[in-house]
Structure 1
């Protein structure tokens, strides 16, 4: 039996809903963790289950415990935090503050903001390279991706963090979130107001466009084999599949209404997206699911390289306004440590 949990960031409810998964098609909502006002972005976890999420209307990030399923503390950052990343080594977190146009560096040992780095207008979501050398941050208001040199953090040199490149997307495209493909060679950018996905070559910063035909890009994940990018497009309630090598769209997958966040469970090749859907209707080709849900798609049930066959789905109810979804495998934490943390809460 598996011991996996999905964490849905439910903006309108001010909670993080926790869905337990014990096997294929076996899901149940086990907890709603109260955090700050208007949480945004996926909960980002350290290896030992410290989770962090932005509270956009409260200028804080909440730390939650993946074992005890409770809020541990709140850390003050800049105005309207939206995006967050944990730097390899897990001593620091980066937080993009969309209201103060800055990037906070947070010490996760002291649980305090150390400094803020100036950014462009309205920075949003980010990803950090596996080697901890760079962070890529979507600058929504100015239409570019900021490349931040964070390599000095491995030596504690906070003052060395600096922007080294502004990679153009389009000022009218509004880049919202991004992800780095498993090979580390390309950055895929979801744009809310462009009909294309932007792809950045990591080695050269060269920019490519992949036509999706619709605005409303929100999030990017990758298939287990790394061959396909999966991009949620909110306005048409679909996930678009892009061949990572050829940069061609190979098919679309209808899901629940208004999909935003997306995550892949690589152990059983399923994908989960959060259906926000304040104003968007479902794709008539897709499942008859409502908003405020997660859609699970079993990627084993139809091919990704062509528009053929139908996928198997499951609907999972969460809180209001789910904007993001992430996962954490509790089996990566020892049984002894899990019990210790549960005993601490009960005491």
Structure 2
């Protein structure tokens, strides 16, 4: 991995996600109240403010303008839409947003998911979900968007045709990362307040469990063949390789202190992992779970994405930079 470009300028990226079509969305939380969009030449295409008129989208009890706090994004698999979660909303009626240590309560505010059109780069739909929504995943058939609600301890299921949440599935303390299998039949959700991963059937909405994966599973990737899931274990500093369908851990490797997000290469051969507390990125070979390289980055790397066309790894550093590496 070799540093190609460092992007800065009024950003505080919690995540960066590639659309698959050459756009990169950085979610800048409440510190910047923006989503910044970049192209493959690392140029800023647009800065999308997170303010919305909720009443205009049918939420009539909320009068006036509101601001969000963009956390994570997922793209429809045709690249037409970006779905962006907001940690909380700002404005009248939102006075109890929840925080990083919380439990379900009717007093906590429900937050919103934005749908952004990737042609116009406008927010064109908003969908109410749970309290402190974090990770977002779109099913490969584009039928559902799944949102893990940190403080509601549940999973929101959003119908993409109706642009409406139609179901919540209780999962327990601190649901986080989500992956969906290629057939759009099963979703896997990391439950960070445990050592387990939930397996959600997307036809009948039943839940099974992959138990004792490791301490505080945070982020998940699934390999292109659907044979393995990889999980960052925040409290162990390790990455777990889990065989499917058995749910058995078949390998672990130490990545660094507080591994947060990761991305798998398009061929499934390499994982790139950000290690938040030591400001580094690990490159890990999946076949034998060996760390091939570790590079230093700006403080607090927290998000990561991959562009297979240019073989570039984009790293979002909470300290205010996006670093682009060639590999």
Asked whether 1:53 is paired with 2:53, we answer no
Runs of 4+ in 1 over 3 A off after TM superposition: none
Give the alignment of 1:221-236 within 5 angstroms: 221-236=263-278
- In structure 2, the partner of 1:17 is 36
Instruction: State the alpha-carbon separation in 1 of the partners of residues 309 and 131 from structure 2.
Output: 38
Q: TM-score with structure 2 length normalisation?
A: 0.78
Instruction: State the alpha-carbon separation in 2 of the partners of residues 134 and 198 from structure 1.
Output: 19
Asked whether 1:253 is paired with 2:295, we answer yes
Instruction: State the alpha-carbon separation in 1 of the partners of residues 160 and 268 from structure 2.
Output: 31
Structure 1 regions of 5+ residues with no counterpart? Answer: 153-159, 277-290, 300-347
Asked whether 1:168 is paired with 2:212, we answer yes
- In structure 2, the partner of 1:286 is none
**After superposition, what is the alpha-carbon deviation per residue over 1:232-278, rounded to whole angstroms, capped at 9, x for unaligned?**
111112111221111222221222322111111101211111011xx
* Structure showing the higher helix proportion among its residues: 1
1:224 CA displacement: 4.2
Structure 1 residues 205 and 79 mapped into 2: Cα distance closer, same or farther (>3 Å)? same
Instruction: State the alpha-carbon separation in 1 of the partners of residues 157 and 74 from structure 2.
Output: 17
Instruction: State the alpha-carbon separation in 2 of the partners of residues 296 and 213 from structure 1.
Output: 20
Decide whether the 8 Å contact of 1:9 with 1:43 is kept in 2.
no
Within the candidate set 131, 143, 148, 1:91 is matched to 143
Within the candidate set 197, 210, 214, 2:252 is matched to 210
1:229 CA displacement: 1.3
1:48 CA displacement: 4.7
- Segment of structure 1 superposing worse, 238-247 or 251-260: 251-260
Q: TM-score with structure 1 length normalisation?
A: 0.73
Instruction: State the alpha-carbon separation in 1 of the partners of residues 79 and 179 from structure 2.
Output: 20
Instruction: State the alpha-carbon separation in 2 of the partners of residues 14 and 125 from structure 1.
Output: 23
Structure 2 regions of 5+ residues with no counterpart? Answer: 1-19, 51-66, 90-110
Within the candidate set 10, 29, 32, 2:47 is matched to 32
**After superposition, what is the alpha-carbon deviation per residue over 1:26-59, rounded to whole angstroms, capped at 9, x for unaligned?**
3211211122522212333341511101112131
- In structure 1, the partner of 2:308 is 266
Instruction: State the alpha-carbon separation in 1 of the partners of residues 296 and 227 from structure 2.
Output: 28
